[in-house]
């Protein structure tokens, strides 16, 4: 019977792995969601109540199970709407609606047979998955600098960011006594990132005598993956109606990272202050470049309070994330050791930087038991953006990814119904993000700027004039089975 249970679990595991989809890189650390009660409680479960997500929030809670449990979600529907005002200049509008259906969380928990103080858990889940696709074209009349002829100024923009992060983990907890529990978990993280940005400015017939067009073009394309290990150590102490928890997440340990980067920057037949400037062309491509995406050191603390009648539970958690100094997410000066014969190190024209500031997030949750079989859950949490890179020293002028970095606020609620050994969950989550001073993707308002240091031409400098809104709606359907 035990072998049959394990066989069923691994069949579900294979199904989930086979269903994974690639999806934009994000440093909103608390964007993780699943079909579990912990999501509807805003992740405020470090002090208790994490259930099948204890392995992630606080492994000291793995031992809360009364019997072995398999849990997975039937589906998760998510709708994310992105709105951009002044993204490519004033009076330019962009929007994008993302819709996905995907499995998100699978877990198997059981208590040790020889020593009941030990409990174990295996899990696979999607930590972060996002997709962003934007494209637009603008055209309007301008005067040529040669002959003041009426011309047409056309600017095109394309952006795609496809980011996915899946975790596979194993964890255990040990009950020191009836009040104190310790736990530890180890995760393998597999991140993939696909990035494409294309910008082009075209002025037809700018030079009457040569009958040529002015042109500025920039293209960036990347794909890479990173495999790393993350360790979590947790402790929890229970009073009669109060439970306190602490969880420490160590910085990620990179095992392997590999990818390619391709970039093109050029302009031709550009006139500035009545004179033609030298044409410019810089192309680059390299394969098997060393890649890395880091997870920060973090410390979370929380509590769970049970009302005297035991019908209401109150949750609070907070987590501090340490700063990650600016580093190269993809480093063209290094290539993967297995591929040195076919790929050679180059300069930083193809390298991209990444980094993160420190921050603190907080979450609140509430659960009320209507009866033994039915309860409802509510939650609210902050989800501040950590993205921040340096422009000092070696980082000055190095390319970075398009990243708005706005705070998100999550409001969630749902119901959980138990019938014999079955537990079914239905819930929803609304996410709001607003940034009134985001950096424009490009500024195609004024076609006259020429900057030989930044190799910018036929446009203006991007400013912090973009207004961004994010609206997300998630619908949860979850299921777990006790045996």
**Domain range annotation of the chain:** 21-420+430-482
What are the pLDDT digits (tens) for 192-213?
999 999 999 988 765 454 457 8
Mean pLDDT throughout 392-420? 91
Distance CA 242, CA 472 (A): 33
The top-level CATH class assigned to 21-420+430-482 is: mainly beta
Distance CA 228, CA 230 (A): 7
Which band of pLDDT confidence, cut at 50, 70 and 90, is reported for residue 6?
very low
SS3 state at 384 = coil
DSSP state of 296: P
What are the pLDDT digits (tens) for 94-144?
888 887 766 577 888 898 888 889 999 999 988 887 888 889 988 887 766
* pLDDT at residue 26, as a whole number: 63
Q: How much of the chain, in percent, has pLDDT values that exceed 90?
A: 61
Which band of pLDDT confidence, cut at 50, 70 and 90, is reported for residue 7?
very low
Say if residues 302 and 45 touch (Cβ distance below 8 Å): yes
Which band of pLDDT confidence, cut at 50, 70 and 90, is reported for residue 73?
low
Which of 9-23, 150-164, 297-311 bottoms out in mean pLDDT, i.e. has the lowest?
9-23
Q: How many CA atoms lie within 13 A of 201 on its CB side?
A: 28
Q: Report the chain's mean pLDDT, rounded to a whole number.
A: 87
pTM score, whole prediction: 0.88
Closest by alpha carbon to 281, among 265, 294, 303? 265
Q: Which tokens is 293 given? A: 């995406």
Closest by alpha carbon to 83, among 347, 476, 438, 462? 438
Q: Is the pLDDT of residue 188 over 70?
A: yes
* pLDDT at residue 144, as a whole number: 65
Mean pLDDT throughout 160-174? 94
Q: Is the pLDDT of residue 16 over 60?
A: no
């Amino acid at each position: 019977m035990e072998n049959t249970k394990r066989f069923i679990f691994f069949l579900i595991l294979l199904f989930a792995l086979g269903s994974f989809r690639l999806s934009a890189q994000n440093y909103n650390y608390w964007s993780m969601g699943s079909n579990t009660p912990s999501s509807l409680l805003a992740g405020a479960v470090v002090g208790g109540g994490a259930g099948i997500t204890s392995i992630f929030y606080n492994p000291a809670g793995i031992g809360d199970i009364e019997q072995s449990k398999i849990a997975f979600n039937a589906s998760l529907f998510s709708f994310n709407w992105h709105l951009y005002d002044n993204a490519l200049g004033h009076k330019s509008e962009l929007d994008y609606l993302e819709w996905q259906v995907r499995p998100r969380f699978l877990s198997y928990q059981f208590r040790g047979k020889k020593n009941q103080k030990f409990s174990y858990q295996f899990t696979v889940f999607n930590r972060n998955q996002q997709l962003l696709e934007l494209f637009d074209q603008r055209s309007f009349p301008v005067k040529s600098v040669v002959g003041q002829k009426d011309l047409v100024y056309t600017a095109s923009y394309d952006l795609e960011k496809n980011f996915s992060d899946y975790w596979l983990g194993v964890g255990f907890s040990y009950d020191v006594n009836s009040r104190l529990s310790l736990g530890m978990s180890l995760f393998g993280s597999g991140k993939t990132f696909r990035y494409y940005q294309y910008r082009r400015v075209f002025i037809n017939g700018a030079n009457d005598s040569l009958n040529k067009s002015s042109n500025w073009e920039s293209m960036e394309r990347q794909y890479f993956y990173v495999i790393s290990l993350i360790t979590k150590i947790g402790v929890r102490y229970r009073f009669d109606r109060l439970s306190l928890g602490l969880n420490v997440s160590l910085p990620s340990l990179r095992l392997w990272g590999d990818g390619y980067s391709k970039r093109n920057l050029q302009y031709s037949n550009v006139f500035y202050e009545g004179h033609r400037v030298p044409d410019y062309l810089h192309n680059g491509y390299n394969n098997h470049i060393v890649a890395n995406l880091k997870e920060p050191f973090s410390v979370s603390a929380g509590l769970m309070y049970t009302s005297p009648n035991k019908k209401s539970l109150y949750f609070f958690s907070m987590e501090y994330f340490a700063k990650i100094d600016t580093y190269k997410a993809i480093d063209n000066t290094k290539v993967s050791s297995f591929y040195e014969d076919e790929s050679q190190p180059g300069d930083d024209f193809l390298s991209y930087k990444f980094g993160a500031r420190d921050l603190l997030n907080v979450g609140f949750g509430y659960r009320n038991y209507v009866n033994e079989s039915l309860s409802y859950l509510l939650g609210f949490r902050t989800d501040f953006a950590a993205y921040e890179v340096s422009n000092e020293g070696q980082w000055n002028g190095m390319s970075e990814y398009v990243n708005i970095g706005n705070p998100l606020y999550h409001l969630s609620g749902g119901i959980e119904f138990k019938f014999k050994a079955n537990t079914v969950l239905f819930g929803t989550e609304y996410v709001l993000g607003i940034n009134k001073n985001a950096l424009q993707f490009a500024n195609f308002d004024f076609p006259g700027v020429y900057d030989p240091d930044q190799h910018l031409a036929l446009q203006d400098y991007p400013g912090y004039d973009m207004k961004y809104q994010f609206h997300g709606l998630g619908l949860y359907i979850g299921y777990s089975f006790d045996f």
